[in-house]
């Protein structure tokens, strides 16, 4: 699959964008006109720069408001196009993108538009270039790809073809299946973008909220399957207008973008494998190494300067210490299959508090290979003689994901910490989910990373009000629910990161007994206000005895179609806190309705401690 990226996806100068695209391994770029106009480089210098970098210049865009106009305007438009074709000759670019008219069209007559495109084709012919006509979702008369395809067919000119853009097709809910009726030699270019499902006017949605494939809600694998079955084998280009990526580091964004296309290639191969195979697809698409979902979360590594407080909390929740690792500056605490590796922040590698997640997988080598094929950085790890080899990669925010082999109920690396006698069963059984707070520039990249690398699927994203801002939350999980990762987008306001810590949630089948046992060990939970219990009573009409017990123990409550959810929180220690959850009868959520109350309690707790100025 030939890969390309529009310069509009990246921040920085045109030259930085080109270098970033090359370093991330793209084959080519689309030159977005405003980037060229703002550049001090001449078209010839840009051409040479791209050649030197080994990048092809695949498309010049956009040319606007051409067709459906009156005769006088048509003459002006043809002259305007000729000027751009001259420029394209200087750049060495063969294809120009033409957006369907959004402003000056006076007629929606398809025959008129086709006749005008034919004239444009004649001009393009003189310059040896071609025009890819794209239906914008907000086009004045042409706003869907099937109409654009009919006009191109009527134009019947070898220099006139189509540009298909997944956003314009899927944002309007159009079925991409009819792509298969388009002849491959009429598809001149393909742009791919994902997006979250928003009820927003389509222009604002497109200009601000597009995402890289794998980060949103569009079914792009199926789209690509239809495309590949036409026989199209040209560039697959990313065109993502997004306010965050316009501000983020272009080098990081380019790698993130390249990862999304590798994932899309895999989805394409999977879609081709499952669809009608009557027409062979010449587009080369390779699957990623297949991985089974993790058998379990074998550990979570926390790095915090407040280890003593955290040790106390773990002890109160029934964890026991194993002691220090024989060669590394970390210690292990466990209860059931829940294991916490505790260390101090490392000044050379400042990591988030949840510094790593260890996963037990069937084939660690395959898991690592998949991550590497998805452009993940491997974590260098030193192993002393006789230690269990673990392999790991870095998530976008710098936290680590490690893969270890399944060797029975207790991982062998547990022996590398003091005593195994500490491995004991009590009320906590395992890790239920891990919540990773993401700085603004890493959130979407993290969604893609976990989805693609670990083959997780995304649940609907929710927004939770905190005293310091709105927190966007996205859960990714394996089909069996063994691995659940919640990503929270931290608001950028001051102090937000201090009160939006990361957290680990542990699963128990008896949260009330656990809360009592913890209290006997001196534990005081995060305090939940009385108003909350009045509110859930109004909502759910709970048994008075249960309500009293929840209130007494500061345990929160939620319910879904399947079952009930009971959970409580510790207060925060530095930038981490712990949660214990009980899922009854297959409750599937995370108590999202309770999150604002919890966030407000954490905020108050901080304020009382004087941590917030
Ligand atoms: O928002 C726009 O104007 C615009 C321009 C060019 C494109 O390819 C596109 O999809 C949208
Ligand atoms: Mg487009």
H/E element, 577: strand 576-584
- The CA 191 to ligand 2 mean position distance, Å, reads 6
Q: Which residue's alpha carbon is nearest to atom 11 within ligand 1?
A: 136
Binding residues for Mg(2+): 433, 503, 579
* Span 161-208, pLDDT tens digits: 999 999 999 999 999 999 999 999 999 999 999 999 999 999 999 999
> Are 196 and 98 within one domain?
yes
Q: Which pLDDT value is given to residue 613?
A: 45
Whole-angstrom distance, CA of residue 545 vs CA of residue 175: 53
> Are 476 and 341 within one domain?
yes
H/E element, 50: helix 43-53
Report the residue among 99, 194, 195 best suited for mutation to probe ligand 1: largest number of ligand atoms under 8 A from its CB.
99
> Are 353 and 418 within one domain?
yes
The closest-lying atom of ligand 1 relative to the alpha carbon of residue 6 is 8
- The CA 102 to ligand 1 mean position distance, Å, reads 11
Whole-angstrom distance, CA of residue 438 vs CA of residue 388: 30
> Are 202 and 329 within one domain?
no
In a domain, 284, yes or no: no
> Are 264 and 315 within one domain?
no
Does 165 sit in the ligand 1 pocket, CB within 6 Å? Answer: yes
Q: Which residue's alpha carbon is nearest to atom 1 within ligand 1?
A: 207
Where does 35-157 show beta strands of DSSP type E? 56-63, 95-99, 130-134
Question: Tokens 């120009």, residue?
Answer: 96
Query: CA distances (Å), 482 to each of 57, 294, 434, 478, 506, in order?
Result: 45, 7, 11, 6, 12
Q: Which pLDDT value is given to residue 499?
A: 55
Question: Tokens 């025009």, residue?
Answer: 131
In a domain, 289, yes or no: no
**Domain end marker among 240, 274, 308:** 274
Q: Which residue's alpha carbon is nearest to atom 2 within ligand 1?
A: 207
- 387: domain CATH number is 3.10.180.10
With CA atoms as reference, report the closest residue to 503 among 601, 575, 577, 397. Answer: 577
Sign of CA dihedral 336, 340, 341, 342: negative
Residue 494, C-beta contacts closer than 8 angstroms, at least 6 positions apart? none
Does 7 sit in the ligand 1 pocket, CB within 6 Å? Answer: no
Whole-angstrom distance, CA of residue 171 vs CA of residue 119: 31
> Are 111 and 216 within one domain?
yes
Please provide the size of the chain in residues. 613
- Crossing angle of helices 71-91 and 43-53, rounded to 10°: 50
> Are 186 and 238 within one domain?
yes
362 within 8 A of 512, measured Cβ to Cβ: no
Whole-angstrom distance, CA of residue 88 vs CA of residue 108: 29
Q: What is the pTM of this model?
A: 0.95
| Helices marked H in 476-543 | 496-499, 511-520, 530-540
CA 558 from chain center: how many Å? 28
Whole-angstrom distance, CA of residue 58 vs CA of residue 42: 18
Phi first, then psi, for residue 298 (nearest 5°) are -85, -25
Q: How many CB atoms lie within 10 A of CB 204?
A: 11
Q: Which ligand does the CA of 61 lie closest to? A: 1
Whole-angstrom distance, CA of residue 103 vs CA of residue 110: 17
Does 207 sit in the ligand 1 pocket, CB within 6 Å? Answer: yes
Please spell the DSSP secondary structure of 434-465, one letter per residue: EEEEE-TTTHHHHHHHHHHHHT-EEPPPEEEE
Binding residues for a divalent metal cation: 134, 165, 191, 239
580 within 8 A of 562, measured Cβ to Cβ: no
With CA atoms as reference, report the closest residue to 424 among 338, 486, 492, 523. Answer: 338
In a domain, 488, yes or no: yes
Q: Which ligand does the CA of 100 lie closest to? A: 1
DSSP state of 554: T
Copy the structure tokens of residue 387.
């230690």
Greatest alpha-carbon span in the chain = 88
For the chain, what is the domain count? 2
Copy the structure tokens of residue 190.
């393909």
Whole-angstrom distance, CA of residue 441 vs CA of residue 252: 9
434 within 8 A of 358, measured Cβ to Cβ: no
In a domain, 578, yes or no: yes
In a domain, 202, yes or no: yes
> Are 464 and 410 within one domain?
yes
- The CA 156 to ligand 1 mean position distance, Å, reads 24
Q: Which pLDDT value is given to residue 5?
A: 98
The closest-lying atom of ligand 1 relative to the alpha carbon of residue 163 is 8
H/E element, 581: strand 576-584
Instruction: Say yes or no: ipTM exceeds 0.95.
Output: yes
432 within 8 A of 341, measured Cβ to Cβ: no
**Domain end marker among 212, 244, 274:** 274
Report the residue among 32, 58, 98, 136 best suited for mutation to probe ligand 1: largest number of ligand atoms under 8 A from its CB.
136
In a domain, 78, yes or no: yes
DSSP state of 186: G
Does 99 sit in the ligand 1 pocket, CB within 6 Å? Answer: yes
- The CA 307 to ligand 2 mean position distance, Å, reads 51
Does 33 sit in the ligand 1 pocket, CB within 6 Å? Answer: no
> Are 345 and 227 within one domain?
no
Q: Which ligand does the CA of 206 lie closest to? A: 1
H/E element, 17: helix 14-23
Beta 556-559 vs 564-569: how paired, if at all? antiparallel
> Are 211 and 323 within one domain?
no
- The CA 231 to ligand 1 mean position distance, Å, reads 25
**Domain end marker among 274, 304, 329:** 274
Whole-angstrom distance, CA of residue 360 vs CA of residue 390: 10
> Are 326 and 253 within one domain?
no
Report the residue among 193, 206, 208 best suited for mutation to probe ligand 1: largest number of ligand atoms under 8 A from its CB.
206
Whole-angstrom distance, CA of residue 508 vs CA of residue 512: 10
- The CA 190 to ligand 2 mean position distance, Å, reads 8
Q: Which pLDDT value is given to residue 322?
A: 93
The closest-lying atom of ligand 1 relative to the alpha carbon of residue 61 is 6
Q: Which pLDDT value is given to residue 498?
A: 55
254 within 8 A of 7, measured Cβ to Cβ: no
Whole-angstrom distance, CA of residue 433 vs CA of residue 482: 8
The closest-lying atom of ligand 1 relative to the alpha carbon of residue 97 is 8
Does 97 sit in the ligand 1 pocket, CB within 6 Å? Answer: yes
Cα distance from N-terminal residue to C-terminal residue, the chain: 54
In a domain, 287, yes or no: no
Neighbours of ion ligand 2 (CB under 5 A): 165, 191, 239
Strand partners, 558: 565
> Are 430 and 572 within one domain?
yes
Blockwise average pLDDT, block size 10, the chain, 613 residues: 98 98 98 98 98 98 98 98 98 98 98 98 98 98 98 98 98 98 98 96 98 97 97 97 96 97 97 70 92 94 89 97 91 96 77 89 96 95 81 93 88 84 86 94 96 94 88 94 94 62 95 98 97 97 97 98 97 91 96 94 86 53
In a domain, 283, yes or no: no
CA atoms within 13 A on the CB side of 359: 29
Does 206 sit in the ligand 1 pocket, CB within 6 Å? Answer: yes
Whole-angstrom distance, CA of residue 55 vs CA of residue 366: 31
- The CA 165 to ligand 2 mean position distance, Å, reads 5
570 within 8 A of 532, measured Cβ to Cβ: no
- 168: domain CATH number is 3.20.20.150
Residue 461, C-beta contacts closer than 8 angstroms, at least 6 positions apart? 196, 472, 473, 474
Query: CA distances (Å), 585 to each of 238, 509, 564, in order?
Result: 43, 11, 7
Copy the structure tokens of residue 607.
């304020």
Q: How many CB atoms lie within 10 A of CB 534?
A: 12
* Span 570-581, pLDDT tens digits: 998 888 999 999
The closest-lying atom of ligand 1 relative to the alpha carbon of residue 191 is 8
* 3-state per-residue secondary structure call for 262-300: HHHHHHHHHHHHHCCCCCCCCCCCCCCCCCCCCCEEEEE
Report the residue among 35, 134, 137, 203 best suited for mutation to probe ligand 1: largest number of ligand atoms under 8 A from its CB.
134
Does 134 sit in the ligand 1 pocket, CB within 6 Å? Answer: yes
| Helices marked H in 360-472 | 364-373, 443-454
Report the residue among 62, 163, 204 best suited for mutation to probe ligand 1: largest number of ligand atoms under 8 A from its CB.
62
Whole-angstrom distance, CA of residue 273 vs CA of residue 281: 11
| Helices marked H in 99-237 | 110-127, 145-155, 166-170, 202-208, 220-230
Q: Which residue's alpha carbon is nearest to atom 5 within ligand 1?
A: 62
Q: 569: domain range? A: 296-609
Q: Which ligand does the CA of 97 lie closest to? A: 1
């Amino acid at each position: 699959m030939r890969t390309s990226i529009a310069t509009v996806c990246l921040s920085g100068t045109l030259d930085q964008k080109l270098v970033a695209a090359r370093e991330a391994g793209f084959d080519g770029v689309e030159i977005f006109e405003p980037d060229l106009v703002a550049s001090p480089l001449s078209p010839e210098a840009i051409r040479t720069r791209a050649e030197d970098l080994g990048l092809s210049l695949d498309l010049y865009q956009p040319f606007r408001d051409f067709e459906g106009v009156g005769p006088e305007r048509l003459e002006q438009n043809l002259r305007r196009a000729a000027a751009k074709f001259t420029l394209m000759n200087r750049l060495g670019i063969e294809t120009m993108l033409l957006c369907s008219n959004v402003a000056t069209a006076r007629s929606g007559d398809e025959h008129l538009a086709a006749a005008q495109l034919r004239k444009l084709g004649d001009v393009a012919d003189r310059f040896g270039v071609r025009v890819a006509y794209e239906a914008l979702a907000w086009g004045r008369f042409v706003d869907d790809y099937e109409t654009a395809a009919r006009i191109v067919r009527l134009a019947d000119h070898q220099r006139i073809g189509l540009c298909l853009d997944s956003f314009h097709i899927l944002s309007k809910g159009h079925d991409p299946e009819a792509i298969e009726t388009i002849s491959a030699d009429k598809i001149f270019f393909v742009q791919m973008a994902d997006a979250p499902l928003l009820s927003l006017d389509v222009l604002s949605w497109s200009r601000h909220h597009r995402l890289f494939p794998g980060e949103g809600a569009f079914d792009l694998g199926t789209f690509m399957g239809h495309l590949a079955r036409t026989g199209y084998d040209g560039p697959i280009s990313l065109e993502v207008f997004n306010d965050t990526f316009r501000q983020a580091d272009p080098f990081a964004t380019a790698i993130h973008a390249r990862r999304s296309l590798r994932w899309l290639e895999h989805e394409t191969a999977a879609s081709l494998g499952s669809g009608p195979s009557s027409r062979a697809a010449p587009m080369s698409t390779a699957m990623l190494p297949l991985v089974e979902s993790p058998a379990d979360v074998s550990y979570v590594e926390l790095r915090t300067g407040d280890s003593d407080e955290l040790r106390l909390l773990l002890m109160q929740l029934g964890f026991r210490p194993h002691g220090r690792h024989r060669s590394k500056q970390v210690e292990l605490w466990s209860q059931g299959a829940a294991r916490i590796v505790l260390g101090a922040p490392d000044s050379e590698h400042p990591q988030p508090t949840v510094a790593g997640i260890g996963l037990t997988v069937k084939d660690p080598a395959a898991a690592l290979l998949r991550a590497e094929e998805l452009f993940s950085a491997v974590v260098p790890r030193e192993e002393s003689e006789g230690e269990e080899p673990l392999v790991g990669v870095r998530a976008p925010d710098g936290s680590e994901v490690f893969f270890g082999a399944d060797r029975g109920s207790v991982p062998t690396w547990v022996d590398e910490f003091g005593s195994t006698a500490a491995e004991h069963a009590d009320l906590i059984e395992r890790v239920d989910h891990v919540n990773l707070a993401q700085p603004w520039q890493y959130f979407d990249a993290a969604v893609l990373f976990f989805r693609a690398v670990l083959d997780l699927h995304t649940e609907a994203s929710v927004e939770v009000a905190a005293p310091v801002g709105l927190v966007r939350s996205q859960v990714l999980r394996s089909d069996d629910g063994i691995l659940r990762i919640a990503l929270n987008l931290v608001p950028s306001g001051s102090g937000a990161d201090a009160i939006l810590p990361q957290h680990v949630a542990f699963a128990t089948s008896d949260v009330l007994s656990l809360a009592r046992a913890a209290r006997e060990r001196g534990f005081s939970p995060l305090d939940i206000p009385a108003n909350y219990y009045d509110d859930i009573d109004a909502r759910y009409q709970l048994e008075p005895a249960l309500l009293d017990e929840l209130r007494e123990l500061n345990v929160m409550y939620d319910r879904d179609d399947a079952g009930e959810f009971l959970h409580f929180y510790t207060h925060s220690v530095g930038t981490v806190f712990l949660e214990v959850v009980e899922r009854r009868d297959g409750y599937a959520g995370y108590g999202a309705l309770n999150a604002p109350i919890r966030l407000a309690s954490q905020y108050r707790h901080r304020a009382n401690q004087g941590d917030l100025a």
